[in-house]
Structure 1
């Protein structure tokens, strides 16, 4: 199931290389502002949730932008039949903050 949502990306980290075993890796992780669960009255504010987001090429597409970055994200809920997870399929940065434009 795919859907879109407005999110705030707090940070992005690309990683590419080769392990000592010879296995290659190439990934990007994004860190999204996520509300803390206050259903029991013991959480308030925000934390960041980490999502995998493609290869290190994705990092290079966004690294020049100011963070935090408001985006429209396409997300997808997937399952292996037992558990489900939400993954980010695409990002579209929204208006860059006024402070960044004036700088």
Structure 2
């Protein structure tokens, strides 16, 4: 199932290299601001959730932007039959997020 939503990206991290075993890796992680669960009255504010987002090339497309930023994202919910996960399939930065004041 695919859907579009606006997300606030708090940070991005690229990683590329080779393990001692010889296996190569190449990835980007996107850190998305997410509301804390307040359904029991014991959570308030935000945390960040890590999502995989393509190869390190995606990091290089975003690294010049100031963070946090707001982006239009296409997400897809996928499953292996037992568990499900949300995958970011595309991002389009649209505006800089307003900085939050420290308490």
- Bigger mean CA deviation after superposition, 88-97 or 65-74: 88-97
TM-score after normalising by structure 2: 0.92
Structure 1 runs (4+) greater than 2 angstroms displaced: 95-99
Alignment of 1:18-57 (within 5 A): 18-57=18-57
Equivalent pairs counted in the alignment come to 99
Q: CA RMSD in A?
A: 1.5
TM-score after normalising by structure 1: 0.92
Unpaired stretches in structure 1, ≥5 consecutive residues: none
Unpaired stretches in structure 2, ≥5 consecutive residues: none
Cα pair 2:8 2:97 within 8 Å, conserved: no
Per the alignment, residue 72 of structure 1 pairs with: 72
Deviations 1:28-87 (A, max 9, x none): 000000000011110000000000000000000000011001000000000111111111
